[in-house]
Structure 1
Amino acid sequence: MSRRGLFLFILVGFLWGIPYLFIKVAVDPENGFSPATVVFLRTAIGAAILIPIAIKQRQLFAAVRGWRYVGAYALLEMIGPWILIGTAEQKISSGLAGLLVASVPIWATIFASMRGDKTVWQRKRLFGIVVGFIGLIAVVGIESITGSADPLSIAMVLVASIGYSYAVMMVQSALPHVSGIAINAVAMAMTAIFYLPWSIAQWPTHEISQGAIRAIIGLGVLSTGAAFAAFFTLANIIGVARGSLVTYLNTAFAVVLGVVILNEPLTTGIILGLPLVLIGSYFASRKPADA
């Protein structure tokens, strides 16, 4: 990997590791925004950043023409997952949310198998699925039994992860020659329009903290607009498959930032489950060299 590729890899890992911290601050019930308002604001900002790039690439109208697939992608990647994660983070730590999202490669591998990818049954990938699920069971079980986290909130993040895992596979298959930046630009615009009525209806009547406002700006500019632009630039250098390995770096950043900045507890469930989920996701997402 070139120096530029390595820089972008680390940058994307940070930009997609920090949103869980931003979301945690932004959805604070006492001085923040509602989860729906957070989704609206982050996607409106993200769309404003990505649409000009998509226009410059001359790919925006290609994404608009595929609106049916982009709409389905938006539903599974943003409209559903981002409201679920935002709602869940009102009751669980940002680090735990990031850890649960690290299960995406495991679910993606299972979906690939259902779509006819026989390499899923290769031993290393099966090993990854099994180890990853053991890690998830450890996290969910320990966090729930000890009362460290709300089981329903954990379930919300897992459902969001399942949506993530299928969304990318679906849209890449349906629109293989359309820029990822253009697809996400249109998907963000769709998501912002979808959540606009809820955002207006749920606009806070209490005083909004400066921290929540800064979190929204960071979430929209850094973790939504800039992160997607950086990821697809990285993908052009090292490919989407290798680029997706940034998931493991995201998770490490999410857990560390939650502990260091928000003083979140490093629970037994996270300590035991984190390495298992990361190892499992790594092996589950690996394909044989001759595949």
Structure 2
Amino acid sequence: VLRWRGSPAPTRRQWRNLAIMGLTMLVLGNGMVVLAERTVSSGLAATAVASVPLWMALFGAMRGQNASRGEWLGIAIGFLGVVWLNAGSSLTATPQGLILLLIAPIGWAFGSIWARGLDLPSPFMTAAGQMLCGGAMLIVLGLLSGERPTTWPSMNGLLAVAYLCMFGSIVAFTAYVWLLHNVRPALVASYAYVNPVIAVILGVIIGNEHFGGRDFLAMAVILAGVVVLTLARTRAK
């Protein structure tokens, strides 16, 4: 669609950068979480993903963009809030699952920081090219591991994929790529804290799930961490 609308195609160098981003963020990041969730509890997976801001802050420091004290405070508050939110769930895992959960946030954070300042096309084309590269790699890995489509997906399954394509990929992921190049790493990474809060709220609205006072307080702590990060980012300008 972007090419049809007149956007220039990525150059050979840009395709190389997009392929590396697809490998680190989508294959190592998202892919390893998917594999891990076969043998680990959802609470442990959520806590592992919440470590992304910590890794992004560390990788950013290695590139000379140190997080401020306020940003470190916001990261710590948000991470503690996510741990608290998942404290009541069963934190079970296999050794293989734990290794995959360690690789996933490191891969995503490294790819996010590494991409800053690279020769890349526009944010929309960057998101599209990265997902094309990462998706092709994931398909190859799936086939090599013996995965095969056996039945046609249900209508609910197709609608779920369509929703993820539109709102998860085209809207949210493109916004993430734009943020990577326009705001400080610590603030970009705060999405990992907001996700569990949104998941709980949607669970109540759609899945008729219930949460108590402890969950409400944990979400308040998470949002407090995001607020601290946002205020620290404003002062760091």
Q: Report the aligned-residue RMSD.
A: 3.9
CA contact (8 A) 1:131 1:279 kept: yes
SS in 1 for 2:90: coil
**Match status 1:168 vs 2:112:** yes
CA contact (8 A) 2:123 2:178 kept: no
What's the CA shift string for 1:155-177, capped at 9, x where partnerless?
Answer: 755643333333222112222x6
Write the mapping of 1:1-291 to structure 2, written as runs, cut at 5 A: 52-53=1-2, 56=5, 58-62=7-11, 64-90=12-38, 92-93=41-42, 101-118=49-66, 120=67, 122-138=68-84, 142-143=87-88, 148-151=90-93, 156=100, 159-175=103-119, 178-200=121-143, 201-205=146-150, 208-229=153-174, 231=175, 239-240=182-183, 244=188, 247=191, 249-263=194-208, 266=211, 273-284=218-229, 286-287=232-233, 289=235, 291=237
Residue type at the aligned position of 1:128: G
CA distance in 2, matches of 1:99, 1:256: 18
Query: Where does structure 2 lack aligned partners over 5 or more consecutive residues?
Result: none
Q: Which has the higher helix share?
A: 1
Deviation at 1:204, TM superposition (A): 3.8
Deviation at 1:77, TM superposition (A): 1.4
Could you tell me the TM-score, scaled by structure 1's length? 0.60
SS in 2 for 1:53: coil
CA distance in 2, matches of 1:181, 1:101: 25
Q: 1:99 to 1:273 in 2, by over 3 A?
A: farther
CA distance in 2, matches of 1:154, 1:139: 20
What's the CA shift string for 1:124-166, capped at 9, x where partnerless?
Answer: 22322332343355456x35xxx62434567755643333333
Mean alpha-carbon deviation: is it higher for 108-117 or for 149-158? 149-158
SS in 1 for 2:235: coil
Could you tell me the TM-score, scaled by structure 2's length? 0.70
Aligned residues: 227
